[in-house]
Structures are given as C-alpha cells and as structure tokens.
Amino acid sequence: MNTYKRKAYAKINLGLDVLGRLPNGYHEVKMVMQTVDIWDELTFQKTNREADDADPKNGAAGVVLTTDAGELPLDQDNLICKAVMLMREEYGFSGGVKIHLQKNIPIAAGMAGGSTDAAATLRGINELFELGASDEKLMELGVRIGADVPYCVMGGTALAEGIGEKLTRLKAAPQCSLLVVKPDVNVSTKDVYRALDAQEEILHPDIDGMVAAIQKDDLDGVISRLGNVLEPVTVQQCPAVSRIRNIMDTQGADGSLMSGSGPTVFGIFADADVAERARKQICEDEACRVKQSFVTCFVD
Ligand code: ATP
C-alpha cells in the first residue's frame, strides 16, 4: 500500500466533570464523549525518506505535512508529526511519509481536533507500513501525545475517566439532530482549568445518571443531564457561549451545552429543519460571532 486516506472525526462532551487535581498536576475528569459527523481528512503517502530529508520542513521523523488550514504549525508542534515520530520510535520503520490534512474541524474549539488527527495518524502509519499494532496498542501510544487521543482511536460513545484515558465503551447514544456552533473567539484550555481551580464551589453534573440514560436509550434522560463544569468559566471570557445557547434554546433545541473547554456550543434537536432555522438565526446575530456552524449528527 502506497497511499491511505482516513477521516478523523471530532467529538463533543455530553457531560464533563472535573473531580480534582492529581499529584502530577493533571485534572481528574469524568466525561461522556460522543463522536460527531464533522471530520478532517488525512491523506498519507509513502515517500523516499532520503529525498525528504533534504526538505527543510521535514523533521527527524521523515514526515512532510501540508494542510489547507493556514494557521496550523507544520512542524513537530503539530500532533500529526508527533504521532509519526512516536510510531517511528516504537516500530523503527524506514521510509518517509507525506501527509495532507484537509481541516474542517474548528481549531482550539473543545472538539479534540488535534487529538483526532493524531489518532488517525497512528492508524494511518500502522496501515501504510503494515505494522500490525492493535487498537489497544495505538491507544496506549496515543496517551503519550494527549489525554483525548485514546478516545479518538476508539470513537463512538464512551465514558472517559482518569485524565481522559480510562475508557468504557457505552451503547451508541440515541440519534438526534445536532447544531454545532463555533464562535470566533479563542480560549486557552490551560487558562480555563486554572480559573476552575480558583473557584470555591463547583456544581457537578450527573455523569452516572447520563451513562444510565444512554444504556437505556433514553434521549430525554441524556438531555436533562447535559452538564459541563468548564462552561461557567469559559462564559466569563466568552459571553457568546451563553448568547448562542439562549438562541438555540428559544429556537427549539431540546437541550444545549458547551463542549470541552469551549467555546464550541452544541444544541440537540428532534428535527434537522428546526436545527437549520436556529443556525440561521444564530449566524445573523452579531453578538454570537459565529465562525463555523454545522447541522450534523452523532457517529457510532
Ligand atoms: P481539545 O478538545 O482536545 O481541548 P481543541 O479542539 O480545544 O482540543 P485543537 O483543535 O486540538 O484544540 O487545537 C489546540 C492547539 O493545538 C491549536 O492551537 C494548534 O496550534 C495545536 N495543534 C497541533 N496540531 C494540531 C492539529 N493537527 N489540528 C489542530 N490543532 C493542532
């Protein structure tokens, strides 16, 4: 095989709780993760590594990365390059690789865009060079790149605990129409967690109840338990988050929430046409500062 293409799907958090801080400084989380039908596309092509070594953009990993998303690093700061390097360290395969990233997932948005690209790269390298790594092995390697990478290898509906790497696969969440809106604001995940640490009281969402609702195929039970402890923190820096949620709620969403550390917001709708109308309203509202929006659905 000389070329390989793969979709890298984004996630949202139906529930996100922070239980505390671990001695190593990481936060202990409890999250319900859900893959959504928004994806980047990665194209992998084997190359002659010696020739690539002459390319100034090419790091020690023998990877040349291109993308249509201008603002992303193309060197070893990109999680795609980190994933190639990790696979090379682990399996020592020879030969270079060219990777093209077509970016659709909002960047720095709480949708695990970088992590899912890294997960797709672990898989892509595994396939292209026929390395025979199991999913478990790719997940084990993935956590060295980032806490969300093992989940991105797994995909679907899952409970994530620990720093996000302890995964329990759940039954596929009940289907619905989903409106996803990314405002044109950047939030730093680090700053959001720092501000959370400074808070005296945290209102914890009912993650166990949500897991039970998913196992029972109870969409209303899921919707009534949507909750994200990071949302009140991000809203302070980004009022567009509450503005978007308010419009979603008044325009027919059954429930809405911010994903991850934000600022992306999603709304759950019974009907795609209603979601589409809500999208239009939100896009026309200047205070929502919409950068990207999608009417989409869950992926198992
Ligand atoms: P998470 O939900 O895991 O917090 P996110 O959606 O908030 O992720 P990303 O889109 O992964 O954030 O991007 C965060 C930063 O990571 C970006 O500012 C970007 O410079 C860097 N980055 C490195 N590689 C990638 C990649 N392949 N795609 C997107 N961002 C990347």
Interval 25-48: pLDDT, tens: 899 999 999 999 999 999 999 998
Query: Averaged over 184-196, what is the pLDDT?
Result: 93
Find out whether the beta carbon of 261 lies less than 6 Å from any atom of ligand 1.
yes
Mean pLDDT is lowest, of 54-58, 270-274, 277-281, for 54-58
- Residue 293: per-residue pLDDT: 98
Asked whether 107 lines ligand 1 (CB < 6 A), one says yes
Ligand 1 pocket member 12 (CB < 6 A): no
Among protein residues, the one with the nearest Cα to ligand 1's atom 18 is 108
For the chain, the average pLDDT equals 94
- Mutation to probe ligand 1, out of 13, 26, 79, 182 (largest number of atoms < 8 A from CB): 79
Q: Is 300 a catalytic residue?
A: no
Find out whether the beta carbon of 62 lies less than 6 Å from any atom of ligand 1: no
pLDDT(52) > 60: no
pLDDT at 11 over 80: yes
Q: Give residue 200's pLDDT.
A: 85
Q: What is the pTM of this model?
A: 0.95
* Res 34: pLDDT: 98
Please indicate whether residue 111, judged by its CB atom, sits closer than 6 Å to ligand 1: yes
pLDDT attached to residue 62: 84
Amino acid at 300: D
**Which of 44, 65, 72 most suits a substitution to test ligand 1, by most atoms within 8 Å of the C-beta?**
72
> For position 94, what pLDDT does the model report?
85
Mean pLDDT of 5-26: 95
In this structure, the residue with its CA closest to atom 13 of ligand 1 is: 108
pLDDT (0 to 100) of residue 48: 81
Q: What is the pLDDT of residue 50?
A: 57
Nearest CA to ligand 1 atom 11: 114
Kindly report which listed range (89-93, 112-116, 210-214) carries the lowest average pLDDT score: 89-93
What's the pLDDT band for 196 if we cut at 50, 70, 90? very high
Q: Going by C-beta distance under 8 Å and a sequence separation of 6 or more, which residues neighbour residue 117?
A: 8, 40, 42, 78, 79, 80, 83, 101
- Residue 56, pLDDT above cutoff 80: no
* 59 pLDDT above the threshold of 70: no
pLDDT on residue 54: 45
User: Which residue, by CA, sits nearest to atom 23 of ligand 1?
Assistant: 78
Domains in the chain, start-ordered, CATH in brackets? Answer: 3-169 (3.30.230.10), 177-296 (3.30.70.890)
Q: DSSP characters for the chain?
A: --EEEEEEEEEEEEEEEEEEE-TTSPEEEEEEEEEEEEEEEEEEEEE-HHHHHT-TT--TT-EEEEES-TTS--STTSHHHHHHHHHHHHH---SEEEEEEE--SPSSSSS-HHHHHHHHHHHHHHHHTT----HHHHHHHHTTT-TTHHHHHH-SEEEEETTTTEEEE-PPPPP-EEEEEEES----HHHHHHHHHH-S------HHHHHHHHHTT-HHHHHHT-EETTHHHHHHH-THHHHHHHHHHHTT-SEEEE-TTSS-EEEEES-HHHHHHHHHHHHH-GGG-EEEEEEE-B--
**Is residue 249 among the annotated active site residues?**
no
Q: What is the mean predicted confidence (pLDDT) over 282-292?
A: 98
